[in-house]
Chain A
Amino acid sequence: MNKVHHIGIASEDLNLALYALGTDKSKIKEVIDDTIQHNILHFIHQENSDLWIEIIIPKNDNSTIQNFVKKNKMGLHHIGFLCDNINDVEQKFNSSVEAVKLGKYHTTVDSFGGKISTIFFAIKGMIVEYVETGNE
């Protein structure tokens, strides 16, 4: 199994998510305005487990998590795994009818080391993301 890189928490409200996670705004390392998925992303690094937590707040009705937060208010949205080659991951999941591809993106997250490639799949209601870093 690939290393868990981050967990994505979707919430209608940032303070609510910080409260649930037992932390505060001072721990946020980076904030990104995701204009592709219409979300604001907040990255927190948990040092003792070397795990990133991504708090996703919808920007508007076009947000990719808008319906999720309408139904759940807040919740675990996805698990992000590191991978060496995103194309291999895509090929693997594309060969199965159990997995539905949600999107593939190339973006920059300084906390993740700069340019990254990322792909999302839904499998029986669970969303997994694979992240390929080191694309500078």
Chain B
Amino acid sequence: MEISQVEKIVAQFFIEREGDEIMKVIKKIDFVDEGIIDSLDIVSLAEYLQIKFNKKIDITKYETLQAFHSFNDIVKLVS
């Protein structure tokens, strides 16, 4: 599977938590519904993305929280 540099960086957050196996399903699953991230993890993910991409992530916005459900939407958020 070809993935971009941005995707690699986003994926690294989930690989560190879930292991390499997550890559088989990372583009298909809903991180929140699957219980992979909860509200505490959302804060950690936002911090991770802010530092890696030097971009503020506003998790008080509904749209941001919705984006955190899906890998592709997270990638769009930071691209």
Q: Which of B38, B44, B56, B60 contacts A97 (CB 8 A)?
A: B56
CA distance A67 to B40 in the complex (A): 7
A-B contact count (CB 8 A): 34
Interchain CA distance A89-B8 in the complex, whole Å? 34
Q: Is B50 touching A100 in the complex (CB atoms < 8 A)?
A: yes
Residues A98 and B38 in contact, CB atoms below 8 Å apart: no
* Chain A residues with CB below 8 A from B59, complex form: 100-102
Given the complex, which residues of A lie within 8 Å of B51, measured CB to CB?
97-98
A40 to B61, CA, bound (A): 24
- Once the chains bind, are B47 and A98 in contact (CB under 8 Å)? yes
Give the number of residues in B that approach A within 8 Å (Cβ atoms). Answer: 16
Give chain A residues whose Cβ lies under 8 Å from the Cβ of B55.
97
In the bound complex, residues from chain B placing their C-beta under 8 Å from that of A68 are 40
Q: Contact partner of B43 among A66, A94, A97, A102, CB < 8 A?
A: A102
A3 within 8 A of B: no
- Once A68-B40, A71-B40 are accepted as A-B contacts, the answer to whether A101 and B47 lie under 8 Å apart by CB is no
8 Å CB contacts to B: which residues of A62-100?
64, 66-68, 71, 94, 97-98, 100
14 cross-chain CB contacts under 8 A: A67-B39, A94-B56, A97-B55, A98-B47, A98-B50, A98-B51, A100-B43, A100-B47, A100-B50, A101-B59, A101-B60, A102-B59, A104-B60, A122-B47
* Chain A residues packing against B (C-beta within 8 Å): 64, 66-68, 71, 94, 97-98, 100-104, 122, 124-125
